[in-house]
Structure 1
């Protein structure tokens, strides 16, 4: 039995279409999923209590440790998990947490990127990702590469949309887990509405479901590559 720990940081920012993959009959009996709501003050478990670690998004920055003290403990758990050679996927804030935990800078991007923008594969060895695909980005921060990391994707405004640390640790800026309802959940986390910017799509465009099926296929391809 593979024990999967999910770190959730905000309402509606759960594992999305990954849940469909874990729920398939061929896998449902092989994985157990446990979710920790860090935004609700739930305590992190010990490093030996899980095999896979899924680190999801959230509206906070990895640098907001004074406002969210649990970020320090979360980064420590991620560092331990990397050292323990666990399977790790981090998405958006989760990917930035992997970068920070591994010693890389997480900084403010030159522009906010919110929308279904082309993500371009930069590493041909990453076969689960197409050469280009319109995937959901929703971030203002981005990361530099930790020592030993290998970048695999970029977009027009974000020089590194993802990196790997060996074959089992994947940090993504883009929301590959998107499914119906994901954009609505993210919009609910924008109390002042969407910011203005060249790389911020209108709400009607964001709510389009035209790219969801392909996003899910790619998400499942990443998961397939890890088993």
Structure 2
């Protein structure tokens, strides 16, 4: 039985469609609500670490005092050879924990925007597709990281460190209800060239199946 620790930072920002992949396999999932000040897991209590999104910045350590300990746990997990997957804020936390800069992008990117594969070792990913993006910050690359995707406004939509550590900017876990949950946290949308309208955002049906297939393929690749 493999143990999976899930780091959650906000209401509604859980593992989404990934739950379906884990459900019929020998995994035990436990969620840690950092936004509720729950204690972090210790390195010996999990085999996988899933780091989810949230509205905060990795640089907001004065506002969110659990961030330094979370970054240390991520770094320790990577160095211990654990399987680590970060999405949006989670991907940025991986970058920051491994010494890379996380910074404000020129514009916010919110919507079902095209992401293009840039590295063939990401065999789980289509050459081009439209996952859900919802971020205003982006990352530089840690040492030895390999970028695997980009979009018009975000040069690095993701990177990996070896086979078992993947950092994604986009929300590959999106399912029906994800946009509603994110919108409930934000409560409004900013203006911007890369911010879709509410009507476009909530029309998620054309995109969810491809995202689900991609995240299942990534989890399968990490589990090999």
Using the size of structure 1 for normalisation, the TM-score is 0.97
Cα deviation for residue 158 of structure 1 reads: 0.2
Deviations, residues 87-132 of structure 1 (Å, cap 9, x unaligned): 0000000000000000000000010000000110000121100100
Q: What residue is the counterpart of 1:3 in the other structure?
A: 3
Partners of 2:17 and 2:212 within 8 A in 1 = yes
SS of the aligned residue for 1:204 comes to: helix
The residue that corresponds to 1:128 in the other structure is 124
Q: Give the secondary structure class of the aligned counterpart of 1:115.
A: strand
Given the two structures, how large is their TM-score scaled by the length of structure 2? 0.98
Determine which structure has the larger helix proportion and give its number. 2
Unaligned runs of at least 5 residues, structure 2: none
Whether 1:201 aligns to 2:214 is no
Residue 97 of structure 1: aligned partner: 93
Task: Tell me, yes or no, if the aligned pair for 2:5 and 2:41 is still in contact at 8 Å.
Answer: no
Paired position in structure 1 for 2:145: 149
Structure 2 Cα separation of the partners of residues 45 and 197 of structure 1: 38
Aligned length: 222
Q: CA deviation at 1:45?
A: 1.7
Question: How much has 1:210 moved relative to structure 2?
Answer: 1.2
Deviation digits for residues 155-213 of structure 1 (CA, Å, limit 9, x no counterpart): 0000000000111000000000000000000000113x100000000011101121001
Within 5 Å, give how 1:48-67 maps onto structure 2: 48-67=44-63
Alignment gaps of 5+ in structure 1: none
| Distance (whole Å) between structure 2 residues aligned to residue 92 and residue 212 of structure 1 | 17
Matching residue within 27, 30, 34 for 2:30: 34
Work out the CA distance in 2 between the residues paired with 1:47 and 1:22.
21
4+ residue segments displaced more than 3 Å = none
* Aligned 8 A contact 2:58 2:89 in 1: yes
Superposition CA RMSD, Å: 0.5
Q: What is the distance in 2 between the residues matched to 1:89 and 1:135?
A: 16
Distance in structure 2 (CA, Å) of the matches to 1:125 and 1:7? 27
Q: 1:82 aligns to what? A: 78
